[in-house]
Chain A
Amino acid sequence: METLNYLGQGFGVALSPYNLLTVLIGTLIGTVVGLLPGIGPINGVALLIPIAYALGLPPESALILLAAVYLGCEYGGRISSILLNIPGEASAVMTTLDGYPLARQGRAGVALSLSAWSSFLGALIATCGMVVLAPLLARWAVAFGPAEYFVLMVLAIVALSGLANDRPLKTLLAALLGLFLSSVGIDANSGVYRFTFGSVNVADGIQFVVLVLGLFSISEILLLLEKTHHGHRMIEASGRMLFNLREAAAVGWVNLPAACLAS
């Protein structure tokens, strides 16, 4: 098939030493940019497009640089999630649930490397899947209508209760509070100002970064204050840096279905 032929050509270009160096630099920049709360992959790439243009790279290298920055930004959010329990982006929220307890046990290195490996595996499977299945996915995407979106949202809220199985009512109340806060601002259908109480700044709605900073950062600062008041150390220095095969196998059976779902 000519698709495989073209793919082979593309890999030939992408695996040249110059482009591999570009990938390395791009992921480094992306990780640093993604580490900052509020600057996710999309903002990071948007900030760095002028730089990529000004560098005067050949077109494929510039695209590789931007793609590497994108993936690095996706990964960088995990660093602050694991070490500080402060997710910078919506996609990093789930990493705090497992990563931060691991960091508190002194296995932060394992958590970071394991999340890097999972990120790589997921991105690889998703990219390959998208390349192979693109026409089919396009048909499905067009057929995804309002009813499907609604059912997807109901699935998300219901799956939330699976996270806290000993306190389902309080989890549901928190989810409802979040849903209610999303209605602050201008109603999309009728243009009525809901719950803005005359303030112009709230007319845009409550921004996600503000919520994340308030809920996660401030509560984490207060928690750390409680811990250090009694002389505990915040995060123990970890011994081992890399995960071993047993841990990789343990998360493997979650990685693969998640990657297929993601693509």
Chain B
Amino acid sequence: MKLPGNLLVQRVFSGAWLLACVAAAIVAWDYRAQFSYEPVGPRAYPLLCLALMGAGLAWLILRPTPIERDAHDPPLDAPLLRKVALCIGLFLAYAALFEPLGFLLDSALFGSVLARLYGGRPWPSLLAGALLAAALYLLFDRVLEVPLPLGPLALLSA
């Protein structure tokens, strides 16, 4: 049976979510309190939410509602999807490199790369990223007194 692409994607997404719900339910089944005045225990509320979610997802798998795209939504072609995947990869790399590189270097680097992704020219993006990272660091460190990791730059400041 040939399924339209839109509905198939929705069915796959609902199916993956349903599997995650089942896995979470298996994990939640073992949550027991040693002694508690509550009759149902800590596993009742998660299992209830998961059961309701599972029922809704099963219905969605059987009868997915097609997503209508607006006329003025941009079309999702391959270069755009590559950009979006690159952006998501950038976010993950930013989170992974936050502790080793420190806030200043990490934010400057990824701010500049993100500005390039948005269509900025090379030198202004670099400058904008670096200035924004420095300004934010000063704001958090001096004004709001929120400690942020410095990474390799800590050797300079000590």
Q: Which residues of A contact B (CB under 8 A)?
A: 47, 167, 169-170, 172-173, 176-177, 179-180, 183, 187, 189-192, 194-195, 218, 221-222, 224-230, 232
Contact = CB atoms under 8 A, between A and B. Distances in A.
A176 B42 contact: no
By DSSP majority rule, is chain A's interface helix, strand, loop, or mixed? Answer: helix
B56 interface: yes
B117 to A, nearest CB: 7
Contact of B33 (A177, A179, A191, A221): A191
Contacts of B49: 176, 179-180, 183
Contacts of B42: 187, 189-190, 192, 194
Given A190-B36, A222-B84, 10 more contacts: A47-B144, A169-B59, A190-B41, A194-B31, A194-B46, A195-B28, A225-B84, A229-B79, A229-B80, A230-B75
Given A172-B56, A180-B46, A228 B119 contact: yes
A189 B84 contact: no
Interface residues of B, number: 38
A3 to B, nearest CB: 41
A229 B50 CA distance: 39
B147 interface: no
Interface string B35-64: 011100110011001101100110110000
Interface in B100-158: 114, 117-119, 144
Contacts of B34: 190
23 contacts: A169-B60, A173-B53, A173-B56, A173-B57, A176-B52, A176-B53, A177-B53, A180-B46, A183-B49, A187-B31, A187-B33, A189-B36, A189-B38, A189-B42, A192-B33, A195-B27, A222-B84, A224-B118, A225-B83, A225-B117, A226-B80, A229-B119, A230-B75
